[in-house]
Structure 1
């Protein structure tokens, strides 16, 4: 178990590093792209990329999760996973290419067609990378995974995507960046895991993978439709510019935190899977993970809500000002699906996917009914965001019950984690609001104010981490800080001699 803990800590370290690198580059690329592309072009990309993601989910057919979760994995399983993902990638590319005009008719926007086809063309590259990235996750080798993701983001999205937008490629520039990002991830991950590019058509390994993978795919499809239902409705009811505002607001509010939490959750899947036969240890790991994430997520949420006007002005520009209330809604949304995912990973690691499927169906029904009401009342896109907030809160509470059912006694730990997180968020929000309100009243320039918000917010987050509950995140932060503090003290001492 010591070896597993050490691997998990190293994986968390690389996840944190990847997050902070992305935290530097994401605002820069967001600010540049928002000044090179219009809200309407972002709306075209939103509907095309969401539908393309649907194909990617089908292409995977759950084999990625099966490769991570399965106890005994043979070379034949790996070949079966590669065959499945490649064949489905080719088939789905052809199907989505043919279906692109239907999407254009649904949205009433012919500009969607070439962009949708461009995203569909990335399926094959993504399918080639699936096995190697899944094997790295299984082995908790997150250093190459983070190198692949960061390299793909910086080169694919940063250099090629922004360069294409500057050259006038419009919405297609994001297709170019997505394709380049997948190609870089494939090259880096395969350099570390050289599994054979070999096909197999024996039925036995497919049965082993799909016994778990098919249910995982059904679950991912349900999650896809729940998470993107608002996009489908907005694309039908409103114009591309309104959809562009909605998606950019979600990206600004959720992307940094989602990247951090996504990295952490990828670490937790193999770690929790390794403890699936040890409920006591799994319960402790679940409680510690939930507590660490809750304290950080609600703190970020409060900061995003208070600073939304400056975030939109600096990162998106004046033509996206209508996105401010949407950003504030999504700021409150972000913590809940991520915290629910911690409990969902417990269900996945113990192969209890039926519970997850039932909850996803319930969430879909709630969202469908709520969006119908919003549409009938003629409300704007801000209302769609608040519906997602309500759905996320209810789903998160339901998953507290799921964790308590799988791990008896964890319900109290879950409520404690949520309570401490909410308390930290409210405290940080109150302090930050008092500081920011005074600076706004004093007429501080937007860029100066944004910089001060980053500094004050960063200090408050650090206080929450260092002074908060004892979790793996706090222990890791202390291990990093103590040598740095010692070197700083030595440097200051030398300066006085």
Structure 2
């Protein structure tokens, strides 16, 4: 196989059966993941105060929106690009890595402003820690979408579900039990992303040496730009229904922190 020969092409035999089976398994695993998530949220709710959830929730809003841009449409491009080559894969990996480094640095710089925007000083430290999500996510983008290209989405869902249960659920709950406050949620989120990315990378073992091959850069970016715009628009529509409750939650968290600070100030004056 040459360096620029077709790589990891999607299968054509039994395509309909594989798609149907994959859709069923993906749905089942999605339900199982959400059920497990509800259990762990209930556990964490007993270990943490609502204001502690508010700190991490505020930071995660920023991270979730920024994550839409980190992939720069590379994931969908890997899945749908005809005649995907090893040069394309290595170039896509390099582009995602560069994007992740850029957003990591930008988040470190923007953390104080984000904390001021939400009115919660504690958001700054949490946001700086959660910025590592971008770097960890970059490790898993290529292998995840190569598996989807091979119609093996159920494997991705299995890894994702296990990572959520072990990372966010197990490690996050343990940290909360140990008294790490809102940091436990941030650590759990990082553990989830790390477990998923590393596991997928070990499963697929894609070409790891990044490169910026001119024709591949143009192919990947020209195809990925449209996917990025589509993701952002879909994100806006999907989050619109939840915007009200989320904003109320942030307002409540801000009020709770302000009340606590006033109470501490009153005790010091007396």
Into which bin does the TM-score normalised by the smaller protein fall? 0.7 to 0.9
Question: Residue by residue, what CA displacement relative to the aligned partner does 1:363-382 show, whole Å, maximum 9, x if unpaired?
Answer: xxxxxxxxxxxxxxxxxxxx
User: Aligned in 2, Cα 1:144/1:204: closer, same or farther, shift over 3 Å?
Assistant: same
Query: Among 99, 104, 107, which residue is 1:88 paired with?
Result: 99
Query: Among 35, 43, 58, which residue is 2:54 paired with?
Result: 43
| Alignment partner of 1:10 is 2:24 | no
Shift of 1:87: 1.1
| Alignment partner of 1:192 is 2:206 | no
SS of the residue corresponding to residue 14 of structure 2 reads helix
| Alignment partner of 1:131 is 2:133 | no
| Alignment partner of 1:53 is 2:64 | yes
Question: Residue by residue, what CA displacement relative to the aligned partner does 1:149-196 show, whole Å, maximum 9, x if unpaired?
Answer: 121011101110111111122222121111111111122212221111
1:104 paired residue number: 115
**What CA distance in whole angstroms lies between the structure 2 residues aligned with 1:178 and 1:38?**
18
Shift of 1:54: 2.4
Q: Which runs of 5+ in 2 are unaligned?
A: 1-11, 257-270
Question: Residue by residue, what CA displacement relative to the aligned partner does 1:185-219 show, whole Å, maximum 9, x if unpaired?
Answer: 12221222111111112221111111121121123
Query: Among 204, 217, 220, which residue is 1:209 paired with?
Result: 220
User: Aligned in 2, Cα 1:231/1:86: closer, same or farther, shift over 3 Å?
Assistant: farther
2:267 paired residue number: none
1:238 paired residue number: 251
Shift of 1:241: 6.1
1:58-73 matched pairs, under 5 angstroms = 58-73=69-84
2:159 paired residue number: 148
SS of the residue corresponding to residue 173 of structure 1 reads helix
Shift of 1:25: 1.8
**What CA distance in whole angstroms lies between the structure 2 residues aligned with 1:190 and 1:21?**
23
Shift of 1:232: 11
Q: Which has the higher contact order (CA 8 A, sep 6+)?
A: 2
Shift of 1:242: 7.8
SS of the residue corresponding to residue 167 of structure 2 reads helix
Structure 1 or 2: more helix by fraction: 1
Q: Which runs of 5+ in 1 are unaligned?
A: 244-497
**What CA distance in whole angstroms lies between the structure 1 residues aligned with 2:121 and 2:233?**
28
**What CA distance in whole angstroms lies between the structure 2 residues aligned with 1:232 and 1:78?**
40
Root mean square deviation of aligned Cα? 2.5
**What CA distance in whole angstroms lies between the structure 2 residues aligned with 1:124 and 1:7?**
32
**What CA distance in whole angstroms lies between the structure 2 residues aligned with 1:16 and 1:223?**
20
1:415 paired residue number: none
Question: Residue by residue, what CA displacement relative to the aligned partner does 1:376-431 show, whole Å, maximum 9, x if unpaired?
Answer: xxxxxxxxxxxxxxxxxxxxxxxxxxxxxxxxxxxxxxxxxxxxxxxxxxxxxxxx
Query: Among 110, 125, 134, which residue is 1:114 paired with?
Result: 125
User: Aligned in 2, Cα 1:201/1:43: closer, same or farther, shift over 3 Å?
Assistant: same
Length, aligned pairs only: 243
User: Aligned in 2, Cα 1:175/1:199: closer, same or farther, shift over 3 Å?
Assistant: same
Shift of 1:237: 8.3
* Structure 2 contact 53–182 (Cα < 8 Å) conserved: yes
Query: Among 180, 185, 190, which residue is 1:174 paired with?
Result: 185
Shift of 1:131: 0.3
**What CA distance in whole angstroms lies between the structure 2 residues aligned with 1:53 and 1:144?**
23
Shift of 1:32: 0.5
**What CA distance in whole angstroms lies between the structure 2 residues aligned with 1:232 and 1:100?**
24
**What CA distance in whole angstroms lies between the structure 2 residues aligned with 1:93 and 1:3?**
42
**What CA distance in whole angstroms lies between the structure 1 residues aligned with 2:239 and 2:248?**
11
**What CA distance in whole angstroms lies between the structure 1 residues aligned with 2:35 and 2:252?**
32
User: Aligned in 2, Cα 1:96/1:203: closer, same or farther, shift over 3 Å?
Assistant: same
Shift of 1:109: 1.1
* Structure 1 contact 39–241 (Cα < 8 Å) conserved: no
* Structure 1 contact 147–188 (Cα < 8 Å) conserved: no
User: Aligned in 2, Cα 1:73/1:242: closer, same or farther, shift over 3 Å?
Assistant: farther
User: Aligned in 2, Cα 1:114/1:237: closer, same or farther, shift over 3 Å?
Assistant: closer
- Which protein shows a greater Rg? 1
Question: Residue by residue, what CA displacement relative to the aligned partner does 1:281-324 show, whole Å, maximum 9, x if unpaired?
Answer: xxxxxxxxxxxxxxxxxxxxxxxxxxxxxxxxxxxxxxxxxxxx
User: Aligned in 2, Cα 1:31/1:90: closer, same or farther, shift over 3 Å?
Assistant: same
